[in-house]
Structure 1
Amino acid sequence: MKLSNQRLERLAATDPLTGAGNRRHFIEHIGAEIARAKRTGAPLSLLSLDLDHFKDTNDSRGHSVGDEVLRVFVRKCLEAIRPYESVARVGGEEFMVLLPGATLDAAGAVAERLRSAIERTAFDVGAEPSVGVTISVGVSEFRRDGDTLDGFVNVADQRLYRAKFEGRNRVVVA
């Protein structure tokens, strides 16, 4: 019975396609991390990521290839972050990475490392030729002096939109 409940909890918190956390779980998790950051004064940063031109991949290669691209992308993200950091799928090709203990500068470095790794990866997902993927990333750091969950997320999202507006395949930190 306990094992079944744990399995159900994991299923309820996970995006079934990619294995990343889902939006609901992410909101709960980020709330807990914000409370910890307020309590301890530790830094907390957030990456808002979007796969560039993903609709084109789905339209030209098919949804099964797009699905596999998303799965490979999440695996690459998980390889690039530490075990206590988390990746969540919050929309179709939109993801967030929560970085407890990371300052804005450290989070920017993680974002750039991830952006570069994705750009260099040949997504061999059963389609010829392999799919090239790039990402745009917005980065924010939680400010304990008045930031809210929504404000924290909105700053990362605004910086993501700026990265897209400035040409995609880039990281915007400030």
Structure 2
Amino acid sequence: MAAFWPANAVLLGVLVRWPTLARPFAWCAAAIALVSADLLTGGTWAKATHLSAANLVGVAVGYLLFMRLSPEHRTLRSTQSMVYFLLIVTLASLAVGLAGMFINPRLFGGTPVSGLWFWFTSELVDYLVILPVVLTMPAWQRPRLINRRGSVLQGLAARQLLPVCTLLLGALLTKVFNGPGAIAYLVPGLLWCALSYSLFATAVLILISSAWVLMAVSAGQLHFGADFSAPYALQSFRIAIALIVMGPLTVATVMDARNQLLRQWLHAATHDPLTDCLNRSGFADQAASSLSALRGTDRPAAVLMLDIDHFKMVNDRHGHAIGDQVLAATAAQIARSLRSTDLLGRWGGEEFAILLPNCSPEEALQVAQRICGQCAQQRVPLPGTDTLGITVSIGLASFPTTPESLEAALAQADEALYRAKGQGRNRVAVAPPP
């Protein structure tokens, strides 16, 4: 544990990720845990209290500085986040190093400078390799290794595992050809992982790689042609580890921010800003892709065209602001009635298109009737205490097997929609079987 002490970095990461835990009770519990750990490993009461106090000083400095940042920067989700992160962990490590200047001569018989340098480098490496894992850990889901296209790495596909294999090859070369430059053998693999995997996955790989190197050096398995018993040799090596870690971590952070921005742009290009469902082009593209994936499987599908009844009258009587509320409320109600695999798009004006892949004609009719009934039950608030009721008309075109053309399927559903409106609205009309 002397070569790798994760407690401080983990404690700081937990307090930064979940600030509600940073209460006096939590700080007291952390102090008791640190003191107890030192006592259980054979430390004296004086050493345990002094060392724990120094550790908590670093955590407190890091916590106070991190909490001055926005949540986006605290979780390393911006291109500038690494600048703040490096500055904060350096200052937090320096705070521990300053405490080491006073503790090292009194408890270990060393010099103030050696205490400063040793504690500063130890904390800096620990913060750099552990803290990003805690700060970027996905919320409410099991950690997953995700590539830049968002798919989970499955199976043994070579193109997906090549970055990790390159990292393992670098570790093997480090072990076999152990010389002064061997520490750099891990860099290409780490950089490739940073370009290929999610920020969290890259942080985990950096942690594993760095922990392996530090522990191997401590156990005498790696020496890199250096005498680590020489003054400041180990501290210099730790600084080298810290500098190597900064590169892949910065690349991963920038890539994550870039991909997040691309996702936002793609969402804006394919979604309707008022209803947050797919716009016409977005629906057409995704529906065509969905049908293409189903084609050849003999699975059924259905297409619905939906129109809000008397929507022009709503705009004329109550204004466009109320009309916008009606559109948003209707889209939300429809979305609640659909499966995650179904597609909903605003086709134009008050008209919506829906694709139900892998859905039998009977099931599609039930979905359409449920949407029609639930929309009729909802009320849109008006100024004052009044509310506005709305109804929808739906045209349904079902196909026992996947239709060849999305346009033809939409045309059949549209014809059925006009029949539903002609029959009195607030109903579902079914197109004749193809």
Q: Normalising by the residue count of structure 1, what TM-score does the alignment of the two structures yield?
A: 0.94
Aligned residue for 2:295, secondary structure, equals: helix
Where does the alignment leave 5 or more consecutive residues of structure 1 unmatched?
none
- Is residue 5 from structure 1 mapped to residue 262 from structure 2 by the alignment? yes
Q: Distance in 1 between matches of 2:260 and 2:309?
A: 39
* Residue 340 (structure 2) pairs with residue 83 (structure 1): yes
- The answer to whether structure 1 residue 56 and structure 2 residue 316 are counterparts is no
Distance in 2 separating the partners of 1:131 and 1:99: 29
Query: When you count helix as a share of all residues, which structure comes out higher?
Result: 2
Q: CA deviation at 1:83?
A: 1.4
Partner of 1:160: 417
Cα shift at 1:144: 4.5
- 1:92 corresponds to which residue? 349
1:34: how far off?
1.8
SS of equivalent to 1:42? coil
Deviation at 1:154, TM superposition (A): 0.6
The separation in 1 between residues aligned to 2:370 and 2:287, in whole angstroms, is: 22
Cα deviation per residue 1:107-152 (whole Å; 9 max; x = unaligned)?
1110000100011111225465211100000001236487422211
2:380 partner amino acid: F
Q: What residue identity is the alignment partner of 1:120?
A: Q
Q: In 1, Cα distance between the equivalents of 2:414 and 2:278?
A: 18
Identity %: 34
Kept after mapping to 2: 8 A contact 1:134/1:169: yes
CA deviation string 1:21-58 (max 9, x = no partner): 00001111111122122122211111100000000000
Query: Cα gap change, 1:19/1:146 in structure 2, threshold over 3 Å: closer, same or farther?
Result: closer
State how many pairs are aligned: 174
Normalising to structure 2: TM-score of the pair? Answer: 0.39
Higher radius of gyration, 1 or 2? 2
Pair 1:144–1:103, CA change in 2 (3 A): closer
Q: In the aligned structure 2, how far is the partner of 1:147 from the partner of 1:78?
A: 26
Query: Which of residues 310, 325, 345 is equivalent to 1:68?
Result: 325
> Is the CA contact (8 Å cut-off) linking 1:65 and 1:127 kept in structure 2?
no
**SS in structure 2 at match of 1:102:** coil
Q: Within 1, Cα distance between the matches of 2:305 and 2:373?
A: 16
Show structure 1 runs of 4+ deviating over 6 A: none
Q: CA deviation at 1:89?
A: 0.2
Alignment RMSD (CA, Å): 1.6
Greater length-normalized contact order (CA 8 Å, ≥ 6 residues apart) = 1
1:28 corresponds, among 285, 290, 299, to 285
The DSSP-based 3-state class of the residue aligned with 2:395 is strand
Contact 2:294 2:402 in 1 (8 A): no
What residue number does 1:37 align with? Answer: 294
Instruction: Answer whether contact 1:45 1:99 (CA < 8 A) is retained.
Output: yes
